Amino acid sequence: MKEKNKVLVSGANGHLGNNLVRLLIKKGFEVRASVRKLKKENCFEGLDCEIVQADITDKASFVRALKDVHTFYAVGAAFKLWAKDPKKEIYDVNMQGTRNTIEAAAEAGVKRIVYVSSIAALDYTNLPTKESNGYNPDRRDMYYNSKNDGERLAFQLAQELGIELVSVMPGAMIGSEAFLPLNVSYGVLKLILNKQIPMDTKITLNWVDVKDVAEGCCLAAEKGRSGERYILANEKCMTITDTTKLAQRLYPELKLKIPGAVPKFVLYAIAGVMEFSAKLSGKPPVLTTKEIAMFSGLQQDFDISKSRTELGFNPKEGAKAVKEAMDYLMENKHLL
């Protein structure tokens, strides 16, 4: 076995993590997959990988998991846009997780980290958005804050501890392989196919195939410059309404209706009712007032020339990714 051949993927039962594990196995790496809780996971069926328990809130578990590992793909994080206590359940978990895993990697002798950040950690003031724009100045969302502050902390710790770290910033990931519960992005397609988006929110998403993001992570490990960040998304975004129109053309049998436009104050009122219900039920609302304030009308178009040039990243365009992802959901009805 070559010394560089052993890798660890954290959050390996998540959407990106699991697809990355599959790709790394195909590429001939010795893969160790970490999950927060060891239980029977059908997402690992038939995969030749070692499954270990490690929690980003428990540094010692990652020191053990990273033993003899050359490259660490730091995928695991709290990926949700709503929680009863967002600072405690999202921000604090992700910040502590970043510190724990990078310190553990340094202690274990890991040579290189691919840190999975997010397009949430970008400044959208000037379009198309690029890595050099800096960090997102909008501080209204705890998940976004955790990705901005977490990435900065990751670079700082890597420099202090003398470990190579490359950051990758995925868009809205969709596509196979997928398992329940679906991630936030894939969940939007599920809502569309289940006719659960009644109005035009003017929210856009930058759709990208999860398999392309997994490939981008591997390219970042191989070619990425330490201390640099790379966008793994598409050039153009799509509104949720345009995504619904695409679904309508693809599946006429579903008789999907195009969401109608309503005044913004109506969107806020509907979102307010949904948030109130969520506080009572503990289940995430379909729409929040914060999402209307932050994302309605926001264009998520990117300049990905750095990733194309330096890494060789070449994603399929967003509409094709959406079509393939919807086909996958329609073929796997249990996910709907």
Query: What tokens were used for 336?
Result: 């709907």
For the cut 50, the answer to whether the pLDDT of residue 119 exceeds it is: yes
Q: Residue 41: pLDDT band by 50, 70, 90 thresholds?
A: confident
Q: Distance (Å, rounded) from C-alpha 219 to C-alpha 295? A: 30
The larger pLDDT score, comparing residue 283 to residue 76, is at: 76
pLDDT at 25: 98
What pLDDT digit, counting tens, does each position of 143-166 carry? 999 999 999 999 999 999 999 999
What pLDDT digit, counting tens, does each position of 308-325 carry? 999 999 999 999 999 999
Contacts of residue 63, defined as CB under 8 A and 6 or more positions apart, other chains included, come to 104, 107, 108
**Structural domain spans, the chain:** 3-174+208-235+301-315
For the cut 60, the answer to whether the pLDDT of residue 2 exceeds it is: no
What pLDDT digit, counting tens, does each position of 234-254 carry? 999 999 999 999 999 999 999
| Model confidence pTM above 0.85 | yes
- Between CA 300 and CA 308, with CA 306 as vertex, the angle to 5 degrees is 90
Contacts of residue 78, defined as CB under 8 A and 6 or more positions apart, other chains included, come to 89, 90, 93, 94, 97, 143, 146
Q: Distance (Å, rounded) from C-alpha 264 to C-alpha 244? A: 20
pLDDT at 1: 41
Average pLDDT, the chain: 94
Nearest to 117, CA basis, from 145, 87, 157, 89: 145
**pLDDT average, residue stretch 175-194:** 93
Share of the chain above pLDDT 70, in %: 99
For the cut 50, the answer to whether the pLDDT of residue 197 exceeds it is: yes
How many Cα atoms are found within 13 Å in the side-chain-facing hemisphere of 308? 11
**pLDDT average, residue stretch 173-180:** 94
Q: How many helices (H) and strands (E) does the chain have?
A: 12, 13
CB burial of 76-110 (b: ≥16 within 10 Å; e: otherwise) equals bbbbebbbeebeebbbbbbbebbbbbbbbbbebeb
pLDDT at 286: 85
For domain 3-174+208-235+301-315, give its CATH number from 3.40.50.720, 3.90.1150.10, 3.40.50.1100, 3.65.10.10. 3.40.50.720
Query: What tokens were used for 198?
Result: 């009644």
pLDDT at 3: 60
* The most confident of 119-123, 182-186, 271-275, by mean pLDDT: 119-123
- Between CA 288 and CA 143, with CA 147 as vertex, the angle to 5 degrees is 20
Share of the chain above pLDDT 90, in %: 87
What pLDDT digit, counting tens, does each position of 56-110 carry? 999 999 999 999 999 999 999 988 888 889 999 999 999 999 999 999 999 999 9
* The most confident of 257-261, 272-276, 293-297, 302-306, by mean pLDDT: 302-306
